[in-house]
Structure 1
Amino acid sequence: MKLTLLSAALLAMGGIVSAAAAEPFIEKQDLFRVGEDPAYNIYHIPGIVVTAKGTVLAWCEARKRPAGVSDWDDIRILLRRSTDDGKTWSAPKSIASVDGPKEKNPFSLRMKNVDPKDVTYNNPVLIADKDGTVHMLFCLEYMRAFYQRSDDDGVTWSKPTEITSTFDAFKKDYDWKVLATGPNHSIQLKNGRLVVPVWLSTGTGGNAHRPSVTATIYSDDQGKTWKASEIAVPNTEEWINPNETVAIELNDGSVMLNVRSESKAHRRLVTISPDGATKWSTPKFDDALLEPICMGGIVRYNHDGKSLILFSNPHNLEKEKGKAEPGKNRDRKNVSVKLSRDEGKTWAVSKTIEPGPSMYSDIGVTQSGTILCFYGTSTRPGASGETPLHFAGSGLTLARFNLEWLEAQ
């Protein structure tokens, strides 16, 4: 290979010639949009993961009833696949189905507008195993939990196995009536352990989802059996209703949970365990991570010698329009991605992905180092005929960008 005069000069002076830095880029595409399929009126709870083979899997809850009903609607779990770094995608496919009769959670029937005939599949969680397996957990009626797996990157799935009995161990500490896995993707540790955050509720409060506590379940045999952890974040006057939680393994092998709650501090809660199951540290609020009471996403970025943590959520604490009570009701907007270079102790970069209405999110990294943020959006400038803003927005959008864009000023 011929050297340029500049390269030759650098080499002569003992310098190092490096490849030119990539140009910053960001691009967006809608993966699910209300109105494209008449069967569904809401797309919510986005999740994304990259498999060991490099396939990108993006999934969500597809809800059949219009906005304003509840989490207890007729809901299916849809998945799309990409084999080209998230550029093009397969058609949506329903991937969770349980045989036999289905009973509605009795705590849901205490609320208005809940149809006992509706079937609610909820809170899907996928894990990309380093051996190529894709593990999946999901719930039925916030009352039963199931496990299934795919050996062909999400094309086909095994028959679901019920694992609800795993949650019985929590009852000595918390008499739950409502359960939920994740949501979002979850993790496999370096030692092979699968760790899935869960939240549990007595079902006696709002939406039958409150009060709540956070914990994990884990498997040391590739999903064949599951065990319950110690309670990671209890419900207290300070830590109010901890629920939707994401996990990441730190470089020292410990597991950090990043927790949504309804606490008055309006910051994300963080707790760490040496093994993802026991000896959880005292939960602390992360002052840099605003909490508008919404799901977030977290993932490891391991490329070009860099080991970073990325976090996504709506970085906003403005009071919701029309709501009188400050500090409780917050607009879901300004989904942003943050970057930590010190294992989540500080967040050196924070960059807006979607300044307007934007909601739940998950985040992944492809094998080429492209970052993927998959999030709920509502009507954006220039769009027409879309559903007005509500808790879930009018669809789910994928942002593809590189680290150069994230770090650029």
Structure 2
Amino acid sequence: MKQFIAIGILFSLIFFSARVQAQSAAFSDTALLFEPDRDGYTMFHVPALTISAKGTILAFAEGRYGKGKDWDDMDLLMRRSTDGGHTWEPFRVIIPRTKGKPTSNITPVADKNGTIHLLYHVNYANAYYIQSEDEGRTWSAPVDITYVFNGFKTAYDWKVLATGPAHGIQLKSGRLLVPVWLCIPNKNIPGGDHRPSCVATIYSDDHGKTWQRGDIITDNGDIAAGGDTIINPNESIVVQLTDGSIMINMRNESLINRRLISVSPDGISGWSRPHFDMDLFEPVCMASIIRVSGRKHKKSRIIFVNPDSRNNATQIRKRQAVYKPRENVTARISYDEGKTWAAHRSLYPGGSGYSDLAVDKNGMIYCLYEIRDGDDNDWKYRIIMHRFNLEWLTNGKDYFH
């Protein structure tokens, strides 16, 4: 009997040791996916990322010509990985440039049925939709879906439209949801070709065959909960909460320099009065968000990434106090559905910019983000793929289970 007890204790110790080792196996690595000098473009900008139902990772970016500005010519590019990001196929152009009309803001959505949906816009005037049924190897012909944006005209007479950017989501109901922003340009203000602006969503309940508009969530000049004025809400990201509701996290140019939040029961209507999340610094830059786990894993985990330059908040960009340096791209984790953010870690301390996130079935986190060598006047971005797990992000305090 003593022998059996001893053997049992030994196996228990081995199991416990293996489990502790597995929990402490922090992992992080990076790969350069899009490089201007190597790949023949002025710069790369606006990364987007998704993982198919079968696990194929699709990384997208804009390859920009000219000076690399928003209104310059650009190709929409993609790279694929079928082995968890260990190796990547060469980039290829999936939407070639239209001379004199920028083609931008790639917004992919991975469908549980295996389809990859992709939205983008041309010249900030028309929106298009394509799809892939073979893991991104081939894509359908573009379909003009500007009609859904025209549905906003009675409420908001936009002259500029934009999808996303970064990934949209599929809800538990099957609905495809994509955040968008609209603008009635005012040439008398700085950056008036994109300002003032408002934020909304569009959606499809038939796997991309048709698209419909949601409500306008917030507009320039609205008053947030707490009394602060909302200025130029635009590029936004969405995540579904465990109760089924949708949280939208919005870039904005408000003087408080914090991310703007609203919640809807269905992603298209009934949006709560927006409030500023005081934990999430806003340098005025696109950000990314994704759910890592929920009720299935008995722990809610949501990750948020953006350039967190709050330590350099006295510095300004564009000669306006609200624009802070785009640097120190940082990942944060929330265990309470985005109410608070418990832990964070810098992914890249230097000059950085836009990002997008994806998570695979094993809990590996993928973050595609921009970095640069120079200051904020240097827009020669290249794009990095950063893979890491919860152990790395939380310094061993959490692991995927």
User: Do both share a fold (TM > 0.5)?
Assistant: yes
The residue correspondences of 1:148-227 to structure 2 (distance < 5 A) are: 148-205=130-187, 206-227=191-212
How far 1:18 sits from its partner (Å)? 6.8
CA change 1:130–1:12 in 2 (3 A) is closer
One-letter identity of the residue aligned with 1:235:
N
Q: Structure 1's 244 and 323: CA in aligned 2 closer, same or farther, altered over 3 A? A: closer
User: Amino acid of the residue matched to residue 165 of structure 2?
Assistant: P
Q: Is the 8 A contact 1:377 1:392 kept in 2?
A: no
The aligned counterpart of 2:92 is 93
Tell me whether 1:406 sits opposite 2:397 in the alignment: no
| 4+ residue segments displaced more than 6 Å | 3-7, 10-13, 15-18
Q: 1:172 to 1:388 in 2, by over 3 A?
A: same
Residue by residue over 1:318-361, the C-alpha shift from the partner in whole angstroms, topping out at 9 and shown as x without a partner, is 25867595632211000000000111011001110001111111
CA drift of 1:147 comes to 0.8
- Secondary structure at the counterpart of residue 137 of structure 1: strand
Give 1:10 deviation, angstroms.
8.1
Question: 2:393 is aligned with what amino acid?
Answer: L
Which residue is 1:105 aligned to? none
Q: 1:263 maps to what in 2?
A: 254
**Residues 189 and 12 of structure 1: is their aligned pair in 2 closer, same or farther, counting only changes over 3 Å?**
closer
TM-score normalised according to structure 1 size: 0.87
Contact kept, 8 Å, 2:317 with 2:376, in 1: the verdict is no
1:64–1:388: structure 2 CA closer, same or farther, 3 Å change rule?
A: farther
Tell which deviates more after alignment, 366-375 or 171-180. Answer: 366-375
Letter in 1 for 2:395: A
Q: 1:220 to 1:406 in 2, by over 3 A?
A: same
Q: Distance in 2 between matches of 1:216 and 1:338?
A: 25
Give 5+ residue unaligned stretches, structure 1.
103-116, 380-386
Cα distance change, pair 178–24 in 1 and its aligned pair in 2 (3 A) = same
Alpha carbons of structure 1 residues 362 and 5: separation in structure 2 relative to 1, 3 Å: farther
CA gap 1:8/1:231 in 2 versus in 1, 3 angstroms: same
CA-to-partner distance for each residue in 1:349-379, whole Å, 9 max, x for gaps?
Answer: 1110001111111111122221111111012
In the other structure, the counterpart of 2:336 is: 342
Distance in 1, Cα, partners of 2:74 & 2:181:
19
Distance 2:66 2:261 in 1: 35
Deviation at 1:392, TM superposition (A): 4.0
Partner Cα distance (1:208, 1:322) in 2:
21
Paired residues of 2:351 and 2:376 also in contact (CA < 8 A): yes
**Residues 288 and 319 of structure 1: is their aligned pair in 2 closer, same or farther, counting only changes over 3 Å?**
closer
Task: Quote the sequence identity (%).
Answer: 43
Give SS of 1:170's match.
Answer: coil
Match of residue 366, structure 1, among 350, 354, 360: 360
Residues 285 and 321 of structure 1: CA distance in aligned 2, closer, same or farther (over 3 Å) = closer
Provide the rounded CA distance (Å) in 2 between the counterparts of 1:4 and 1:219: 61
Secondary structure at the counterpart of residue 39 of structure 2: coil
Cα shift readout 1:176-226 (whole Å, capped 9, x = no counterpart): 000000000110000000000000001224251100000000000001111
Measured in 2, the distance between the counterparts of 1:131 and 1:391 equals 42
User: Of residues 23, 26, 30 in structure 2, which corresponds to 1:24?
Assistant: 26
What TM-score, normalized by structure 2, do the two folds share? Answer: 0.88
SS in 2 for 1:31: strand
Kindly indicate whether the alpha-carbon contact (under 8 Å) linking 1:320 and 1:329 is maintained by their aligned counterparts in 2.
no
The amino acid that maps onto 1:121 is T
User: Matched residue pairs, number?
Assistant: 379
**8 Å Cα contact 2:42/2:380 also seen in 1:** no
* Local SS of the residue matching 2:392: helix
Structure 2 residue 350 is matched with structure 1 residue 356: yes
Unaligned runs of 5+ in 2: 223-228, 397-401
Q: In structure 2, what is the Cα distance between the partners aligned to 1:327 and 1:4?
A: 72
Q: Match of 2:83?
A: 84
Q: Which residue of 2 aligns with 1:56?
A: 57
Q: Among 233, 252, 276, which residue is 2:243 paired with?
A: 252
Provide the rounded CA distance (Å) in 1 between the counterparts of 2:258 and 2:230: 10
The equivalent residue for 2:126 is: 144
Root-mean-square deviation (CA), in Å?
2.5
CA contact (8 A) 1:359 1:393 kept: no
Q: Is the 8 A contact 2:45 2:381 kept in 1?
A: no
- 1:280 equivalenced with 2:271 (yes/no): yes
